[in-house]
Amino acid sequence: MKDIPAKLVAELRARTGAGMMDCKRALEETSGNVEKAVDLLRQKGAAKADKRAGREATEGLIGTYLHHDGKIGVLVELNCETDFVARTEDFKALARDLAVHIAATNPLAVRIEELPAELIQRERQVYEAQVVEQKKPENIRAKIVDGMLKKFYEENVLLEQKFVRDDKRTVGELVKALSAKTGEKVDVRRFARLQVGEG
């Protein structure tokens, strides 16, 4: 099926957020079947998500959340490559969900690399002292400390945290899934969480 109607391409693009040519190719490969084209784009998108890591994501929006009592507020910057993706409901929903998640979990940083080196060193020293105190065998102490640090990251780094609305997935996995679905790099750039009486 070579002549794919523009209306079908537009429908598929609206549903998936994928690029126009990707939608056209997917429809050609599935003989115009929109449902199969959606599945095909999702399969291809997961493989492409890793390749997008180096691309610029300069469009996007600010997700917001204000707690019902007005004492906690969050702003989170979620970036993508085009304003087309930034306007999709999936993108807007992720930005809102991330703001709610940040309000609930109060992470220290978006990524592990953004944590201050002194904080990581201090945590490592505390864990090493705990392992010695527990009289763990020397040959496994380093692995135990690494495991404790991993748990610290999972509790305090946004992209490593379990998502509050679906604890089977991390926030990083949610962002990667949206990137796969849209065919664009999606990136959490930064956030600010304010709470009355803190700071």
Q: State residue 103's pLDDT score.
A: 97
pTM, two decimals, is 0.71
How high is the pLDDT of residue 198?
A: 72
Helix axes 34-49, 171-182, angle to 10 degrees: 130
Largest CA distance in the chain: 72
Task: Report the alpha-carbon distance of residue 97 to residue 117 in Å, rounded.
Answer: 29
For residue 168, CA distances in Å to 131, 138, 147, 158, 164 come to 29, 33, 19, 15, 9
Where are the chain's structural domains? 6-52, 59-111+157-195, 116-155
Judge whether 86 and 187 are in contact, CB under 8 Å: no
- Between the alpha carbon of residue 21 and those of residues 12, 17, 28, 56, 178, the distances in Å are 11, 12, 10, 20, 19
Tell me the CA end-to-end span of the chain in Å, nearest whole number: 62
Q: Is the pLDDT of residue 96 over 80?
A: yes
Confidence of residue 176 (pLDDT cuts 50, 70, 90): very high
Per residue in 145-158, pLDDT tens?
999 999 999 999 99
Mean pLDDT across 21-49: 79
The fourth-level CATH superfamily of domain 6-52 is: Ubiquitin-associated (UBA) domain (1.10.8.10)
Query: What is the chain's percent helix, strand, coil content, to nearest 5?
Result: 60, 20, 25
**Phi and psi, residue 76, nearest 5°:** -135, 130
Q: In the predicted model, what is the mean pLDDT of residues 6-31? A: 82
Place of tokens 């962002």: 175
Listed in sequence order, the residues at least 6 apart from 102 whose beta carbon sits closer than 8 Å to its beta carbon are 65, 74, 76, 158, 191, 193
Task: Report how far residue 96's alpha carbon sits from residue 62's, in angstroms, rounded to the nearest whole number.
Answer: 9
Residue-wise pLDDT tens digits, 71-90: 999 999 999 998 899 999 99
Class of domain 59-111+157-195: alpha beta
Query: 146 vs 12, 141, 153, 157, CA distance in Å?
Result: 45, 9, 11, 16
Is the torsion defined by CA of 67, 72, 73, 79 positive or negative? Answer: negative
- The conformational region for residue 181 under phi > 0 = left, psi -120 to 50 = alpha, else beta, is alpha
